[in-house]
Amino acid sequence: MLWGGRFERGPHPDMVAFTRSTDVDLALLPHDIAATKAHALALLDAGLLSADEQKSIDGACDDLLARWERGELVPSSIDEDVHSMVERLLTEALGETGKRIHAGRSRNDLVATDFRLWCRDASAAAIDELRRLIEDIASFADGQAETVMPGYTHLQRAQPVSMGFHMLAHGFSLLRDAQRFVNAHRSANVSVLGAGAMAGNTLGIDPEIARDELGFSSVFDNAMDAVSDRDFAADLLYACSTTAVHLSRLAEEIVLWTSSEFGFARLGDDWSTGSSMMPQKRNPDAAELIRGRSAATIGDLTGLLVLLKGLPLAYDRDLQEDKGFAFGALARTLESIRATRGVLGALRFDKDRMAEAAGASATWATDVAEEMVRRGTPFREAHERAGQLVRRYESGEDIVEEAFGFPESSQLDALKRRSSWGGPAPERVREQAASLRKGTASLGA
Ligand code: ARG
C-alpha cells in the first residue's frame, strides 16, 4: 500500500478493484522504468541517493525491463497501477534503496511523463505507417496518371480527371494528417518530472536532468499545469481522428467503385469477402471496417475532451481514464492505415468503363464553354450555349464536332487539356506525386 500511514483500515476490495488501472496502464511499463532511471539520476544530483544506490536502482530497472521483454512481469493483486507495481518490484529487488526512489516524485508527474513518452512513440509510429501509405499513393498516381475517370461534385459526374489525380487528393489529406502527428509529437515532447504532485518539491530536484535523460526537448513551465495538462494526448487523438475521417472517405469511394453500379474496380480475392448465403457476392468488408472504425476513434477524441472539460486543476483521478482513449485510437489508426494499403494494392480497375463514364454525361461541357471563352465569348453566354449543346447531346444529337470545332477527341486528350496548376493533366499529376513524396520525406519526427 502506497499511502497506508494515515489510514486505520485498508480499502474495501471493491474499491481496490474499481480504482485499479493495471489492465490498461501496464503498457506504460517500459516508459515507467525509463522515467524511474531518469529520476534516480536527479536524486543522485540532489544528494539524496549515493552513487552506489543510483547504480543499483539503474541495474534493477534494467533487469525489470529484461523481464518485461521476456513477458515475465504481471501485476500482482496489490498493485494499484503500473507505477506502484514498478516501485514494488524495485523495493522487492533492492529493499531499503528501492524505498528511496519516490522522493520528490508523485505518480501525478510520473504518469504524465510516462504518457508523454508513450505519445511520442505513438506519433512516430503513426508517421511511419502514414509515410508508407502516402508513398504507395504517390506510386499509384504515377501509374494511373492517364487512367481517365469522371471527377464528381454532389456525386454527379462533373469533369474528366484521372484515377491518379483522384487518389492524390487523398494523398495530400493524409500528408496533412502526418503533419498533425508531427505536431502531436512536439506537444508531447516536454519533460514534466519534477512537477511532483502539483507544486514541485523541497528537495532541490533539477528537472533538466530528467529532460536530458529522457530526450525531451524542453521542461515544463508551471508544475500545476504540468500534472493537469493532457493537450498532448488531445493533439494525438485529433491526428488519429482526422486520419480516420480521411481513411473513411477513401474507403467509402472504394466501396462505391467496386459496386456493380459504378463498376470501376474489382477487389482481388485476398482483400474481399464472400457471403455465407449469396454465392455471387464479393464484398469490400475491409473498406467498410476502415469506414466504420473511424466512429470509435472520433469517440475517443470526444471522450478525452469531455473527460477534461470542467476538470478542476490540478490532478484528478478522472485523468486515469485518458490512456484507454489514446491506446484504442492509436491501435485502430495503425491497423486502418495498414488495411488501406492492402485494399489499395488489391484494386483492379476497369479502364474502359471509367473512360466511358467520363465521356458520358457531358463532362466535356465546361471545356466547351471555356473554348468559347478563349475565342472571345463572355463566360455567362458561353455557359448558356454549352448548356444548349448538352441538351441536344442528351436528346441523341451528335454535337461534339460542333462543340469543339474539331472531330471528337479522346478522353485522354480532354484530360491533357486540363493542365492548369494542380490540375489532372498527366504531367501535372506526376509533379503532384513528386511533391507528395517530397512532403513525406521532410516530415521529421
Ligand atoms: N493511476 C493514476 C493515473 O493513471 C496515477 C496517478 C495517481 N495519482 C493519485 N494521486 N492517485 O492517473
DSSP state of 312: P
* 83 noted as active-site residue: no
Q: Is 221 helix (H, G, I), strand (E, B) or coil?
A: coil
Confidence of residue 398 (pLDDT cuts 50, 70, 90): confident
For residues 391-420, give the mean pLDDT. 80
The greatest distance separating any two alpha carbons of the chain, rounded to the nearest whole angstrom, comes to: 96
pLDDT value of residue 6? 80
Torsion (CA) 193, 195, 200, 206 in degrees, nearest 10? 30
Across residues 369-384, what is the average pLDDT?
92
Residues 340 and 97: their CA atoms lie apart, in Å, by 51
CA–centroid distance, residue 108 to ligand 1 (Å)? 6
Whole-Å CA distances, 61 to 51, 54, 150, 165, 312: 15, 10, 60, 52, 34
Residue 368's pLDDT band, with cuts at 50, 70 and 90, is: confident
Q: How far is the CA of 157 from the centre of ligand 1 (A)?
A: 55
> For residue 173, what pLDDT band results from cuts at 50, 70 and 90?
very high
**Contact assessment for residue 337 and residue 254, using Cβ atoms and an 8 Å cutoff:** no
Average pLDDT of the chain to the nearest whole number: 94
pLDDT above 80 (res 207): yes
Q: Which three cell numbers stand for residue 190?
A: 516536454
pLDDT of residue 399: 80
Please tell me which residue, 295 or 278, carries the higher pLDDT value: 295
Higher pLDDT, residue 392 or 403: 392
As for ligand 1, residues whose beta carbon falls within 6 Å of it are 21, 25, 81, 83, 107-108, 111, 315, 317, 319-320
**pLDDT at position 258 over 60:** yes
Residue 360's pLDDT is 79
Asked whether 265 and 273 are in contact (CB, 8 A), the reply is no
Residue 1, pLDDT score: 65
Rounded CA separation 340/290 (Å): 7
Cell of 16: 481496490
Better-predicted residue by pLDDT, 2 or 364:
364
Ligand 1 pocket test, candidate residues 110, 320, 322, most atoms within 8 A of CB: 320
- Cα 29 to Cα 26, 48, 231, 391: the distances in Å are 5, 24, 22, 69
To the query of whether residue 12 is one of the catalytic residues in this protein, the response is no
| Predicted pLDDT of residue 279 | 77
Q: Which helix (H) or strand (E) holds 439?
A: helix 426-441
Q: Whose CA is nearest to atom 11 of ligand 1?
A: 317
pLDDT of residue 274: 81
- Taking 70 as the threshold, does the pLDDT of residue 409 lie above it? no
Q: Check 50, 275, 410, 419 and give the catalytic one.
A: 275
pLDDT of residue 405: 64
pLDDT on residue 100 = 97
Q: Where are the beta strands (DSSP E) in 195-249?
A: 218-219
Confidence of residue 168 (pLDDT cuts 50, 70, 90): very high
User: Of ligand 1's atoms, which has the minimum distance to the CA of residue 111?
Assistant: 5
Which range among 4-18, 19-33, 77-91, 303-317 shows the weakest confidence by mean pLDDT?
Answer: 4-18
Ligand 1 atom nearest residue 80's Cα: 1
Q: Find the mean pLDDT for residues 380-401.
A: 88
pLDDT for 212-245, tens place per residue? 999 999 999 999 999 999 999 999 999 999 999 9
pLDDT-derived band at 444, boundaries 50, 70, 90: confident
Q: Is the pLDDT of residue 445 over 60?
A: no
Q: What average pLDDT does this structure show over 304-318? A: 98
Instruction: For ligand 1, atom 3, name the residue with the nearest CA.
Output: 320
- In the chain, % of residues over pLDDT 70: 98
Q: Tell me the C-alpha distance between 15 and 12, whole Å.
A: 5
Whole-number Å distance, alpha carbon 185 to ligand 1 midpoint, is 23
- Reference 348, options 270, 427, 289; nearest CA is 270
- From residue 204, how far is each of 54, 164, 261 by CA, in Å? 17, 60, 71
Q: Tens of pLDDT along 108-164?
A: 999 999 999 999 999 999 999 999 999 999 999 999 999 999 999 999 999 999 999
Looking at residue 138, what is its pLDDT?
98
116-130, 361-375, 405-419, range with the lowest pLDDT? 405-419
Query: Does 407 score more than 60 pLDDT?
Result: no
Pocket test for ligand 1, best of 28, 192, 224, 317 (most atoms within 8 A of CB): 317
Q: What is the mean pLDDT of residues 238-254?
A: 98
With the C-alpha atoms ordered 77, 80, 83, 89, is the resulting torsion angle positive or negative? negative
Buried b (16+ CB within 10 A) or exposed e, 307-340: bbeeeeebbeeebbebbbbbbbbbebbbebbebb
Tell me phi and psi for residue 54, to 5 degrees: -60, -40
Confidence of residue 273 (pLDDT cuts 50, 70, 90): confident
What local confidence, expressed as pLDDT, does residue 394 receive?
87
Atom of ligand 1 nearest to the CA of 315: 10
Question: Quick one: what percent of the chain has pLDDT higher than 90?
Answer: 84
**154, 260, 395, 420: which is the annotated catalytic residue?**
154
Atom number, ligand 1, closest to the C-alpha of residue 82: 1
